[in-house]
Amino acid sequence: MNGTRTALITGGSAGLGRASALALAERGWEVIVTGRRVEPLDRVASRGSTITAVPGDVTDPRHRERIAEVIEAQGRLDLLLNNASALGPSPMPALTRYPEDALAQVFTTNVLAPLALIGALIGQIKAADGTVINISSDAAVEAYAGWGGYGAAKAALDHATAVLAVEEPDLAIYAFDPGDMRTAMHQAAFPGEDISDRPEPETVVPALLRLLDTRPPSGRYRASDVAAANTGVSS
């Protein structure tokens, strides 16, 4: 097995995915980033010699097969970071007016695709005694008007993550809630509003890296709690 640690990051062209890819590359990891937008993904790859871009849509089974081939050629997978997410329509509709096809796409991207990717790569993850991190949201546990589609999908992902942790007790499997961030998706959730008060995704990366480094018991973790633990502050 190749001795260099390897990460696969979905939704790696922007936001938390991009910031995480750059941080891991700085640590000497081989990082494979995937996403639908080719040019932004290539720009991320150009930032580090150990970053490889594999453009495509994780909801496409053929693209997941391609990813599996890339990982097989790489020889190991220490981290699968399922970061790709779909918000749904913007402005976000009430559940009673949610278009069925749009809701299906949200669940396909936020639940079915990450589970399928985990299933396709579980052998390599287990061989490396690796880690799976599924990006969650406070909308998975709190009821916000307009967030029903996205929140329900993330709640489903949270529960699936918990079940996977029971089924794979030797692995580290986490649902990670980064909190509000200044991203394009967050802006789409609040069209026309000023979200400049939200923290940049880079500020969340230290908490994610600490989760990866300390490898606590599998479960659901909020970035704010992980950061507080790092400073010895209780919340």
- Residue 233: pLDDT above 70? no
pLDDT score of 181:
64
| pLDDT number for residue 35 | 96
Q: What is the pLDDT of residue 20?
A: 97
Judged against a pLDDT cut of 50, whether residue 235 lies above it is answered with no
pLDDT band at 196 (very low <50, low <70, confident <90, very high): confident
42 burial (CB, 10 Å; 0-12 / 13-18 / 19+) is: middle
d(CA 107, CA 149): 8
How high is the pLDDT of residue 40? 94
Q: List pLDDT tens digits, range 76-125.
A: 999 999 999 999 999 999 999 999 999 999 999 999 999 999 999 999 99
User: Are 8 and 193 a contacting pair, CB within 8 Å?
Assistant: no
Question: What does the pLDDT read at residue 189?
Answer: 60
CA distance 130 to 7: 10
Q: How many CA atoms lie within 13 A of 139 on its CB side?
A: 20
* Of the candidate ranges 160-164, 170-174, 192-196, 214-218, the one whose mean pLDDT is the lowest: 192-196
* pLDDT tens digit sequence for 185-195: 666 566 777 76
| CA-closest candidate to residue 115, choices 71, 190, 58, 62 | 58
Q: Given the structure tokens 């190991």, which residue do they identify?
A: 76
User: Averaged over 48-55, what is the pLDDT?
Assistant: 95
- State the DSSP code for 83: -
The arithmetic mean of pLDDT across residues 16-34, rounded, is: 97
pLDDT of residue 172: 98
Question: 185 or 129: which carries more pLDDT confidence?
Answer: 129
pTM of the model: 0.92
pLDDT of residue 2: 63
| End-to-end Cα, the chain, rounded Å | 41
Given strand 6-10, what is the order of strands in its sheet? 51-53, 30-34, 6-10, 79-82, 131-135, 172-177, 219-222
Q: CB-based burial of residue 213 (10 Å sphere; 0-12 exposed, 13-18 middle, 19+ buried)?
A: exposed
Between CA 229 and CA 235 the distance in angstroms is 9
* Domains of the chain (ranges, CATH numbers): 6-231 (3.40.50.720)
Residues near 175 by Cβ (< 8 Å), separated by ≥ 6?
A: 134, 135, 136, 140, 157, 158, 161, 162, 219, 220, 221
234 pLDDT higher than 60: no
Which residues are identified as catalytic?
150
Query: What average pLDDT does the structure give for the chain?
Result: 91
